[in-house]
Structure 1
């Protein structure tokens, strides 16, 4: 892709980085990211994916905006309460950058529709709030050979990892959590609480981690770090990496 003069100006601070450059920025412009979950993690992740010039975005969320979301879901305003998150998030993208393509789906991803929703993605960023959806997303990503950035938040801790379970030496998200959560929800922010700024840290780190994958092979910044879980402790504060082992018996990627 050749970037037009106005796009070159908009992304000049990326292009001047030797680790990104014009080749890397063109790769971002050619990318299609599916964002699953437009809530606490999805809001800041979306802002920085759009700001990075990801050429096409598909936003997926079946929830509507509640006033309690405004403490951490930074793309919404009080006038958006009661509206579908995916649609309002898509409108935010359209106002932010006319040069991006964006679609929205007010749907919950499951085993019956995951393949269709994620089809054609360069990468999926999953910031949803339940294990059943996360596992359906992971299984579909393995099946379709799509890299996955997974991000989660709980109180003062964030977790971010890139997965490529379709590769023979790499684990998938199911290798990490196992099969027990296929039909169980995670703990909720409503029950446990969450610091809004902690969600922002996790979501923006997830966006940066997704960009690593999209730039792999195009720029020096593109080290995807597949299979490494980054634990972000907001209380300390600190960050530490953990290596996830591939499970040969995993029903998501073991036979792929």
Structure 2
């Protein structure tokens, strides 16, 4: 697979970095060069809840150079059953700032920018343009579609995850590639705003860990250039039976979000 293009200055690992990330470096598919790309990258995480918690923890521990985390919600006692980046002492605090505290304690080498806001389309355009990879860890369709539009416009890869009850899903939209499908190609912008909120339907705690960790893996593969990403493949996981299914999807030529981009690329 091609490496996701990054604009960050080259990062050369010092002795401490070589030791900290030695288990990555031992992987032939990743090595020093792949780890240095990870350390020089900027990742945008939308949401610091059930999915955003494992995403942020693994990206920080893996050495992603800059993490920007966006969430305007506050930590609630009911979150602690699954949102493992937060603690009981931080109930009532903003989730992005709570996550920042945990991540900086985990890996002080990572720059963590916490944004306690609900990003508007204009703000999303700004944030997405500054990132190398975007991870959708939110819980409502309107935000997912807004993030997708910003990623399509900027040509930035988008890793999307969702989890509710015992059902999870995961895919990667390789929008840094000219012919890749987008989120709207797969999910039309119709129906209810929320994709089955946990407050209404419940969620099996480890499920968000499984999907969120897989999202982090997709992001690290994009940044380092190792492995194969879920381009055009939607993974579906049923935690109640421990079974995975996969469905393939293609770009919609009539997609109102990305069709114009492809038309422009074809001229």
The two structures have a TM-score, normalised by structure 1, of: 0.94
Q: Please name the residue that 1:117 is paired with.
A: 127
Q: Secondary structure at the match of 2:43?
A: strand
1:187 to 188, 196, 203: 196
Q: Please name the residue that 2:147 is paired with.
A: 137
2:211 to 198, 202, 212: 202
5 Å-filtered alignment, 1:139-158, equals 139-158=149-168
1:212/1:222 contact within 8 Å kept? yes
Quick check: 189-198 or 89-98, which moved more? 89-98
2:141/2:189 contact within 8 Å kept? no
Q: What is the alpha-carbon distance in structure 1 between the residues aligned to residue 84 and residue 54 of structure 2?
A: 7
1:132 CA drift (Å): 0.3
1:185 CA drift (Å): 2.1
Q: Secondary structure at the match of 2:160?
A: strand
Q: Does 1:23 align with 2:28?
A: no
1:110/1:137 contact within 8 Å kept? no
1:109/1:137 contact within 8 Å kept? no
Return closer, same or farther for 1:101/1:200 CA change in 2, 3 Å cut-off.
same
Q: Secondary structure at the match of 2:246?
A: strand
Q: What is the alpha-carbon distance in structure 2 between the residues aligned to residue 229 and residue 134 of structure 1?
A: 16
Q: What is the alpha-carbon distance in structure 2 between the residues aligned to residue 170 and residue 114 of structure 1?
A: 21
1:241 to 246, 250, 259: 246
5 Å-filtered alignment, 1:1-256, equals 1-165=11-175, 167-181=177-191, 184-216=193-225, 221-256=226-261
1:95 CA drift (Å): 1.1
Q: What is the alpha-carbon distance in structure 1 between the residues aligned to residue 176 and residue 190 of structure 2?
A: 21
User: Unaligned 5+ residue runs, structure 2?
Assistant: 1-10, 262-267
Report how many aligned residue pairs link the two structures.
251
Q: What is the alpha-carbon distance in structure 1 between the residues aligned to residue 19 and residue 175 of structure 2?
A: 37
Per-residue deviation, residues 140-194 of structure 1 (Å, max 9, x unmatched): 001011100001001111111110245332110111111215x722211011010
RMSD: 1.3
Q: What is the alpha-carbon distance in structure 2 between the residues aligned to residue 46 and residue 57 of structure 1?
A: 8
User: Unaligned 5+ residue runs, structure 1?
Assistant: none
Per-residue deviation, residues 62-100 of structure 1 (Å, max 9, x unmatched): 100000000000011111000000011111111111111
1:232 CA drift (Å): 1.3
Question: Runs in 1 of length 4+ with deviation above 3 angstroms?
Answer: 165-168
